[in-house]
Amino acid sequence: MRDQDNGVRARNRARETVSNHASDAQDHGVAALPLRGAMNPSTQAQGTSPGSFAHASDVGGPLAFSSPDTPGMPAPSSKTAWDFLPDGWRIEAVESALHAEGCAGHNHPGIGPFIRAVAPAGFEPITQLEFARLGLVTAEMRRVAEREGHLSPEQVRDEIAAGRMVIPANKAHLGFSLDPMAIGRASRTKINANMGASPVSSGTEEEVEKLKWAERWGADTVMDLSTGGDLDACRTAIIRASTVPIGTVPIYSMIIGRKLEDLTIDVILDTLEVQALQGVDYFTIHAGVLREHLSLIKDRLIGIVSRGGSLLAKWMLVHGKQNPMYDGWEQICAVMRRHDVTFSIGDGLRPGGLADATDAAQLAELSTLGELTERAWRMGVQVMIEGPGHVPFDQIEFNMKLERTLCHGAPFYVLGPLVTDIFPGYDHITSCIGATAAAYHGASMLCYVTPKEHLGLPKKDDVKQGCIAYKIAAHAADVALGIPGARDRDDELTKARAALNWQRHFELSFDPDTARAYHDEDLDVDTDFCAMCGHDWCSVRISKEIVEFASGKAEEYQREKAVRSAALTAEQQEILAKRGVLSPEEIHRLASKTRRAVGADAGAKASCHSDLVEADDAQRVQKQKLVPLNTAPAHNLPTHDPVI
Ligand code: SF4
């Protein structure tokens, strides 16, 4: 009950603060922030903007931290993972009144305040979901509670038991240096960074370097999407070097060196077993693309844009059979369970442009993802769901809330979404706008998009730009949702800014080196104004004079007098040096590296370029240099289905 008592006290304190602010506002004849959730997003009692438009927190219930519903939004599912226990399991009330002994927040009224599942005799739990259902708190759950300061270990366990939270932690990866983390609506919003060698660029060493770089810039998980080079060596190196969970899309490995048409359930299971033994923490499996969905894509502007989705669609058309991953789902679940690999059930029919968003194909697949979620929970496997992609801003809330309904609150892991299609080169920005809305309305993890999206393989600086854009999206949503403590650092930085305490200002910045370098580019004196407005026009300095806040509001920010700033570090100097674009020589050097890899002559387009109409020549180069996917004609198999 400790959590509940603390929660009530915190709510009361916040309500009191809000009502003081509301009456202040009314005294001055202005509208006050509405008393919706009335939770102060900051844990600082003196927070200056304590209201929140979000619902009051409901950790333990279906809403956790949530936005109010625009009229017409689907309601949360009344079911949780408790409704999809394996055969032979039952639920019992825990006699003890201690929360540690059993799970709260379930949807089985009348059984008791705390419950746990009882498994058949001799059952040994393996997955975090199984431990949670049995009422047990694992070391990984305790670590997650340490990292999520607003949650207790018991609350983490309860959310996992309900299927609303996952801890992607393969048993093998835990033996290396994985630091367990959680993905779910009750925890802070997470971000994923994609990387991986392609047939034309990068290698293992470069990918490990990108992994460490992504961790440095706040990636909570990393997906290795390699499709070229030595995939096994690259994956092993990444797993051993990473402190964050690693995800993969195993179908890539399944078809390298093999004709797509030769994919069988045995190949699928063997590949999953190999990667699970290596320590992969979550697998994207595109089992929700069904044969009956394919006719729904014929009116799309851009068809199927998921690599896994398009490959499986082609397999189904060639063989005239159902998706082998859907038919073999329980066998796949058995592999996942043995190693506690978490599902990231792929959205193979996600839209690839605004025009295709929220169409019948996407929604039909989402409904199938709900069915697959129920089947995975019955096998004791943790589940998250992948989501779109490209979605107009106004459709994002509906997409998030529909997933909450159809997939019973399983964490939603979305790519972007991009809210406009006409800014190639800036898609980290177009998508991070959508990602912020997605996280506010229901997503639990945001897959980053870099400036290179749709254009090429991200390089180191693209990874940094993508990570930062998505840290901004995730953090903005956490603040708006009123997750306790989410706004503390913002408030501290505001105080430092008000005090014109530049050193503290930089220390609290997400990227201190860049902040310091940009400041010192114009003015390397640490004083009561900056170069943007200058001394006479500095409103913050003038405000200090007016309000007599001494140096801002807190003594620790006071500075006796202006000081010369420390010399820029080498890293900060490099940031300034790079503010120009790459030199033409550097650009040509990079371009010629890729050109050589695809066998293009100097001055000409690569012969595998898709706008060349000589198909034979293009295919010859693709077969030699790229993944040999289009081998159907060589085997007298149909290349397309008349259905489409
Ligand atoms: S000079 Fe302008 S930008 Fe700089 S601290 Fe003062 S108000 Fe802010």
Task: Give nearest CA residue, ligand 1 atom 4.
Answer: 530
Residue of 540, 543, 544, 546 to test ligand 1 pocket, by largest number of atoms within 8 Å of CB: 540
pTM (2 d.p.): 0.86
Q: Is the pLDDT of residue 638 over 60?
A: no
Q: Among residues 12, 33, 53, which one ends one of the domains?
A: 53
Q: Is residue 356 part of a domain?
A: yes
pLDDT > 90 in the chain, percent: 58
- Pocket of ligand 1 contains residue 540 by CB under 6 Å: yes
In a domain, 419, yes or no: yes
Ligand 1 atom at minimum distance from 497 CA? 5
Nearest CA to ligand 1 atom 5: 529
| Residues 126 and 340: beta-carbon distance below 8 Å | yes
**Which of 453, 481, 509 lies at the terminal end of a domain, its last residue?**
481
Does residue 351 fall inside a structural domain?
A: yes
Q: Once rounded to an integer, what is the mean pLDDT over residues 494-519?
A: 90
The answer to the question of residue 76 being in a domain is no
The alpha carbon of 490 and the centre of ligand 1 are apart by a number of angstroms equal to 18
More confident residue, 456 or 473: 473
- Our measurement of the distance from residue 38's CA atom to the centroid of its chain's CA atoms, rounded to an integer in Å, reads 27
Residue 126: is its pLDDT beyond 90? yes
- Per cent of the chain over pLDDT 70 is 76
Predicted local confidence at residue 170, as pLDDT: 98
Specify the ligand 1 atom closest to the Cα of 534: 1
Mean pLDDT of the chain: 84
> Quick one: 259 and 173 in the same domain?
yes
| pLDDT value of residue 635 | 43
Same domain, yes or no: 518 and 624:
no
**103: helix, strand or coil:** strand
Cis status of the peptide bond prior to 389, with omega within 30 of 0:
yes
- Same domain, yes or no, for 216 and 340? yes
Banded pLDDT at 577 (limits 50, 70, 90): confident
Model pLDDT for residues 316-373, shown as the tens digit of each residue: 999 999 999 999 999 999 999 999 999 999 999 999 999 999 999 999 999 999 999 9
CA distance 356 to 34: 36
Collapsing DSSP to helix, strand or coil, 222 comes out as strand
Question: How far does residue 637's CA lie from ligand 1's centre (Å)?
Answer: 68
**pLDDT at 244 exceeding the cut of 80:** yes
530 alpha carbon – ligand 1 mean position (Å) = 5
Domain end call among 161, 195, 217: 161
Whether residue 41 is predicted with pLDDT greater than 80 in this model: the reply is no
Q: State how far the Cα of 616 lies from the Cα of 635, in Å rounded to an integer.
A: 16
Query: Is 37 within a domain?
Result: yes
Rounded to the nearest angstrom, the distance between the alpha carbon of 473 and the centre of ligand 1 is 25
CA angle 59, 61, 67 (to 5 degrees): 75
How remote is the CA of residue 498 from the centroid of ligand 1, in Å? 10
Whether 189 shows a pLDDT value over 70: the answer reads: yes
Distance 479 CA to ligand 1 centre (A): 25
Same domain for 459 and 409: yes
Mean pLDDT along residues 371-393: 97
The model's confidence at residue 628, banded by pLDDT at 50, 70 and 90, is very low
pLDDT of residue 632 exceeding 60, the answer is: no
Ligand 1, atom 7, residue with closest C-alpha: 538
Closest to 57 (Cα-Cα) out of 163, 148, 178, 193: 148
**Average pLDDT of the segment spanning 544-550:** 60
Q: How many domains would you assign to the chain?
A: 5
**pLDDT computed for residue 488 by the predictor:** 86
The conformation of residue 529, written as its DSSP 8-state character, comes to: B
Contacts 24+ apart (CB under 8 A), 357-360: 357/388, 357/389, 357/390, 357/391, 357/392, 357/395, 357/399, 357/417, 358/391, 358/395, 358/398, 358/399, 359/296, 359/299, 359/300, 360/296
Arithmetic mean of pLDDT, 64-75: 93
User: Residue 334 belongs to what domain range?
Assistant: 165-481
**Mean per-residue pLDDT, 473-486:** 91
Given the structure tokens 């939770």, which residue do they identify?
Answer: 39
615, pLDDT greater than 50:
yes
Nearest to 250 by CA among 305, 212, 307: 307
Q: What pLDDT shows up at residue 166? A: 98
Same domain for 330 and 444, yes or no, is: yes
Residues 195 and 316 occupy one common structural domain: yes
- 169 and 154 within one domain: no
For residue 247, what is the enclosing H or E element?
Answer: strand 246-248
Identify any residues that bridge with 93 across adjacent strands, giving them in sequence order.
Answer: 115
Q: How far is the CA of 118 from the centre of ligand 1 (A)?
A: 62
The answer to whether residues 156 and 289 belong to one domain is: no
With a cut of 80, say whether residue 416 has pLDDT above it: yes
Q: 204: domain CATH number?
A: 3.20.20.540
| Atom number in ligand 1 closest to CA 530 | 4
Give dist(CA 130, CA 635) in Å, integer: 46
Q: Which residue(s) pair with 377 in the sheet? A: none
Lowest mean pLDDT among 82-86, 191-195, 212-216, 544-548: 544-548
What is residue 373's predicted lDDT score, i.e. its pLDDT?
98
